Structure 1
Amino acid sequence: MDSYLLTKLSLFTNNLLPLGIAIINSEIKQLGFITNYLQSHNIQFFTVGRGGDLDLTGTKQSIDGQNISFTYKEQCYNFDTNIIGSFQASNLLIAVMMVHLTGFPFLEVISKLPKIKAVQGRLQRASQDNSPYHVVIDYAHTPEALKKTLLELKHIKAASGSLKVIFGCGGERDTNKRAQMGQIASQIADQIIITDENPRHESSSSIRQQIIQGISNNNSNYEEIADREVAITHTINNLHSNDILLIAGKAGEEYQIIKDRKIPFSDFDIARKALNAVKVDS
């Protein structure tokens, strides 16, 4: 991990202009290592997040968005955003400081925060605000990312709803993560739908079975639906009030890779199509 981190830190030493400032998330595990590195290379830095120079003091989460509170130069601020996910709070505030430190007035920058929209594929809502249930698209394609995303959604789910997840794993990639992701999903989600992602030249059936092997015995509430479009459409058609569905793994990708073919495919477009069909039928 240190060699990987050092490679990323070299972006500062090799590219930051003289008198430039590095902005660092104060909540990352390697904060001490990073700040020591920057100090040893005489690089100024500014921390953002809980306990940072810009101190994230609190968030109030809901499926509709969040209220974010922070302090900067001994002044307290808060704002509302429709971007969900507690980790997005730090991302927004880091963006604030990047803009502010390039010369824009601080108050002008934070006045724009409620207007910012979610990045494509990062806890991106496919369902409309007035929908009785919620469909969210996210790029989570590793065990840690899937766990973090599911926990975020479980935290804001209404008690009467269920948390459902659709995901697969890419072929010809890290095989060890497949069972891990199955286990994580079974420990957090109420229902799991295992489907294909980008199988490439690998057997898609074999990939799905490796994921299923990781599903805990105490959670047999899963389905295996190979066709990703069918999996998305079928699950959306069976959502109930206050349910949250996470479609994970591909997010903003506009294709699916099967053998040597790159087939046009969008999780977001398929989800919106299914949601619109449900609305028409109802």
Structure 2
Amino acid sequence: MTIDYAAAMALRDEGRRFDYADRETMLYALAAGMGRDPLDARELRYVFEGDGFCAMPTLAVVAARSDIARRIPFDLALMLHGEQRLTLHRPMPTAASLIADSRITEVLDKGEGKGALIYTETTARLADTDEPLFTIGNTLFARGDGGFGGPRGPAPATHALPDRAPDHVHVAETRADQALLYRLTGDRNPLHADPALARRAGFAVPILHGLCTYAIACRAVLATACEDDPARVRQFDVRFTAPVFPGDRIETDVWIDGDIVSFRCRVPERDVVAINNGRCVIVTP
């Protein structure tokens, strides 16, 4: 089917309720690799409901998951997650009831054979106080659905990384079962679990969720730029550029320039950049 631009732009999903508790908060942090050393007090507070218990900022992307883009007729088999954006209006609670509204903000037609870019936005507020909590933006690249007659752009500019050596390099080892753990946070796409399906999609083994790498990048920025204080993170934006396989070692290059933290995630053994043009806005102490 061909994308109907007017129908896509009219899509709305308003007033959806989402609830999560401390279990989901700890599971998300464990899936990001927090707590590998159970004696590390800096990470223990993300995975144990003791003193100082807190939530990772990027928990937001699974706390109010929207499927509004799937109401647009495009080939799911050729869809890639292109970008992820997050703005936090206040720190993520360790448990909450949320009300979320989602919409399509733009659909760009890159041309026949060049695909389409689908931009979505979800805003969430606390159900009990109506206070805004976060805004999520997604860019999906529908590789097989260009040429429908929509606007061509321009697409938003990406964040440029500093032209100097990184100030920090954070190393995270992923596990062979990392995707099986992360999928329990809500994304049950079999591409991340079924070896036969992964081979049909052109991968030797199931790949890691892009949003798991996104969480690992957040873990790196928290450790290197925020003194592991999640309340300092206000914005966390990335561009996905290559898949990660469970078991890969991820090195996150971090540059700190005042309240702007730039970052990218590399897999050195395969010489690929998995996340690029990362930009985190922090509150400086």
Q: What is the TM-score of this pair, normalised by structure 1?
A: 0.24
**Which of the two has greater helix per residue?**
1
> Which one has a bigger Cα radius of gyration?
1
**Which of the two has greater strand per residue?**
2
